[in-house]
A and B are shown apart, each in its own frame.
Chain A
Amino acid sequence: MFPFLIRRFFQSIPTLLLASVLIFFVISLAPGDFLTPARLNPGISEQQLANLSASFGLDKPAYVQYFYWMRNMIFHGDFGLSFQYTQPVLPVIWPRIVNSVYLVLLNLVFFYAIAIPIGVYGAVRQNSFGDKAINVVLYFLLGFPSFFLFLIVIYLILNIRNATGWDIPLGGMTSGNYDQLSSLGQFWDVLRHLLIPALVLAVTDAAGLTRVIRGLMLEVMRSDYIRTARAKGVSESSAIWKHTFRNAILPIVAGIGGLLPAAISGAGFVEVVYAYPGITPMLLTAITASDLYLIAGFTVISTILLIIGNALSDILLAVVDPRIKVG
């Protein structure tokens, strides 16, 4: 297992490097650099401009700038300077990334808690009334953009709030009195805010995965070794969960790595609707303000997350599938 992991780790380094090259050169394609708005600002002196220009190597060709950027990033953990915030990028974006990861993790918990039981049920009771009903609903759900479903949910919540007076949170991550709450109260407050967006996201995403799990389960259930297991007399639950399910989910486990960044992307739309202090709302303002190093910072960090996610899914795959350990 370890040689396998180490090999995968070294394979991911060139990808990460090339991704950073791509990100950087896409950014340098943009008209003007991040000093263009600063030159129009009378509060910033010529000397400061020259200093900034020299520290980022903006007076040098693009590939030299890239090496400066790379050197600052690797050796100093410095992602450049955010122009809107006039602060280093990392302290600005880090809390946003943590917030997004909270949302995504809770979303993933719901995602699997919904998709796995329904998918397995659909395969075990194939063509039953329940299976068909679920299929129709899922087919319908597949067509919903997540932000649209979320708008509908908000509309329903508003009506419930008006009818019953329940205080269901409608946006943000914390209530107004967050600072006065005890630490347990703070935890519950954040969880309460996260619950609805995470659930809505999970429902839209789970529509696809449920169909995949159902298909994979059906394929494995027809194989000879399941018939053999049944003939041996294993219990029904063992035949389904231990023999079928463990084999059926292998392709899904292999894909978990790609899930984290995809989920962060997908959560972006809901973050915007919910005014959640996550990555995407900040990224959108960064784009209107052409705060290019901020954009690059977010993209690089989420790419690193993808690599970490891939490593995690490799480890999981090795845990689930004993054949990997040999290779």
Chain B
Amino acid sequence: MTTATPTPQSNNRRSLGQSQFSVAWQQLRKNRLAQTGGVLLILIYLMALFAPFLAPDGLSNYSTSNITRFHPPTPVHVRDPATGAFTRPFVNKYTQQLNMDTFVNEYKPTAEQCPIYFGVRGAEYKILGFIPGNLHLFGTGQEKPDCNVFLMGGEALGRDLFTRTLYASQISLTIGVGAVLASTIIGLFMGAMAAFFGGFVDTVIMRLVEVISAIPYLFLLLLLRSVFPQDINPILALYVILGILAFIGWGGLARVTRGQLLSVREQDFVSAARALGASDNRVMWRHMLPTMTTYIIVTLSLSIPGFILLESGLSFLGIGAVEPYVSWGSLLAQAQDGGLSSLNSRPWVLIPGFFIVFTVGCFQLLGDGLRDAFDPRKRQ
């Protein structure tokens, strides 16, 4: 019989005690797709934060003298058409004229050039609500007021769609995430109450969960929205939608929390903590709830896309973000303004939808990555 000599481990660093999070972090570092999703999300949130600076115009600016309803996108040229030499980027000025055969207002580029300047002064704004500024990344300046750079065309009132899409990202990216956070807190709290008190409280909470899930979500949303007047303050309307989304979303988590806490309550480490004289509060917050951390991180990241989609849908129906605020969903509602049958004359109003798809895709990549990172069976 030979004794196998243990081969000395060349890399001892990994055998040191590792916390769950450092293992998960290492797993995530290996997942290129999840990393890409994460980085793109950071970029898109930065875009939302600096939207007023990146946008060439103000959120609700439009000219009453030069009406640019559904103005087509203006291509940016960098070569002078006469000489072919590179110049400062410019867009052509557009004129409009009514086609007497079709009665459609047609936009035609003219030879007049509108140079694009970088770092121009324009509409006033406040980043984060308190940093004032009027500097814009690019724009046509104020010398030629009828010159417009419409990267993504104009919308129904002739406002710049690109500007509005950037501003809309602030709302779309906040409400979904905010609603998920709020519903997580409610779900945890309710689940913990149900498990801790048991009896009557437990029955009431679990019945409430059942009832909420028994009513179709769209109708419950509409019903709850109808409690508030239609013409409430637009800012308040955003909070209302956030609250409603949180209210319909907490049920599943409450159920899981209750089940998990009930099973954990019987385990040795909880009895040990109690035997050592820990208070109820300490047992709950330091010993029982932390067993849920992984689950919460994963469900949180996986439920954000659903809420972003739901918010866009509500705004699309006109009960989410209302003027003067916009979200990607309410921008898409513009596709219906003026009849769907003329949609093919203004396809650029569909562009904000791709921002939804992109954001949801990034959240999904990150969420899947996190789920795999915390799952011991998928460890590499």
Which of B68-76, B79-87, B119-127, B354-362 is the interface stretch?
Answer: B354-362
Question: Which of B309, B332, B341, B358 lies at the interface centre, i.e. has the most chain A CB atoms within 10 A of its CB?
Answer: B309
When C-beta atoms are compared, the residue in chain A nearest to B218 turns out to be A265
- Whether A273 pairs with B336 at a CB distance below 8 angstroms is yes
- Whether A140 pairs with B357 at a CB distance below 8 angstroms is yes
A226 adjacent to chain B (CB < 8 Å): no
B340 adjacent to chain A (CB < 8 Å): yes
| Docked CA distance A286–B208 (Å) | 26
| Docked CA distance A77–B173 (Å) | 45
Contact with A along B330-354 (1 / 0, CB 8 A): 0010011000110110010010010
**Contacts of A19 on B, CB cut-off 8 Å?**
211, 214-215
Contact with B along A152-169 (1 / 0, CB 8 A): 101100110010000000
Contact with A along B221-241 (1 / 0, CB 8 A): 011111111100000000000
- Whether B226 pairs with A290 at a CB distance below 8 angstroms is yes
Total CB contacts across the A-B interface at under 8 A:
143
Within the complex, what minimum Cβ distance (angstroms) separates B299 from chain A?
16
- Whether A287 pairs with B214 at a CB distance below 8 angstroms is no
Which of A20-28, A192-200, A230-238, A241-249 is the interface stretch?
Answer: A20-28
B40 adjacent to chain A (CB < 8 Å): no
Contact of A147 among B222, B316, B343 (CB under 8 A): B316
- Whether A142 pairs with B360 at a CB distance below 8 angstroms is yes
Contact of A299 among B208, B223, B309 (CB under 8 A): B223
Within the complex, what minimum Cβ distance (angstroms) separates A313 from chain B?
14
Contact of A306 among B214, B230, B343 (CB under 8 A): B214
**Contacts of B305 on A, CB cut-off 8 Å?**
142-143
**Contacts of A290 on B, CB cut-off 8 Å?**
226
| Docked CA distance A99–B143 (Å) | 57
**Contacts of B353 on A, CB cut-off 8 Å?**
144-145, 148, 151-152
| Docked CA distance A243–B226 (Å) | 50
When C-beta atoms are compared, the residue in chain A nearest to B335 turns out to be A151
Knowing A15-B211, A155-B350, A262-B216, say if A143 contacts B357 (CB, 8 Å): yes
> Which bucket holds chain B's interface residue count?
35 or more
Contact with B along A269-313 (1 / 0, CB 8 A): 100110000001001100110101001101100110011000000
Knowing A15-B214, A22-B211, A143-B360, say if A299 contacts B340 (CB, 8 Å): no
| Docked CA distance A73–B345 (Å) | 49
A268 adjacent to chain B (CB < 8 Å): yes
- Whether A18 pairs with B207 at a CB distance below 8 angstroms is yes
A30 adjacent to chain B (CB < 8 Å): yes
In A15-70, the 8 Å CB interface with B consists of: 15-16, 18-19, 22-23, 26-27, 29-31
**Contacts of B230 on A, CB cut-off 8 Å?**
287-288
B112 adjacent to chain A (CB < 8 Å): no
Across the A-B interface, give the 7 residue pairs with the lowest CB-CB distance, nearest first.
A265-B218, A143-B360, A261-B216, A148-B353, A158-B344, A143-B357, A143-B361
Q: A19-B214, A158-B344, A170-B340 are in contact. List 9 more A-B contacts (CB 8 A).
A: A140-B357, A143-B305, A143-B359, A144-B356, A145-B309, A154-B340, A269-B317, A284-B318, A287-B230
Question: Could you list which residues of chain A lie within 8 angstroms of chain B, going by C-beta atoms?
Answer: 14-16, 18-19, 22-23, 26-27, 29-31, 139-140, 142-145, 147-148, 151-152, 154-155, 158-159, 162, 170-171, 258, 261-262, 264-266, 268-269, 272-273, 280, 283-284, 287-288, 290, 292, 295-296, 298-299, 302-303, 306-307
The 30 sampled A-B contact pairs (Cβ below 8 Å) are A22-B212, A26-B227, A27-B226, A27-B227, A142-B360, A143-B305, A143-B357, A143-B359, A143-B361, A144-B356, A145-B356, A148-B312, A148-B356, A151-B343, A155-B343, A158-B341, A158-B344, A162-B344, A261-B216, A265-B216, A268-B218, A269-B317, A273-B336, A280-B218, A287-B230, A299-B223, A302-B215, A302-B216, A303-B215, A303-B216
Question: Could you list which residues of chain B lie within 8 angstroms of chain A, going by C-beta atoms?
Answer: 207-208, 210-220, 222-230, 305, 309, 312-313, 316-319, 329, 332, 335-336, 340-341, 343-344, 347, 350, 353, 356-361, 364
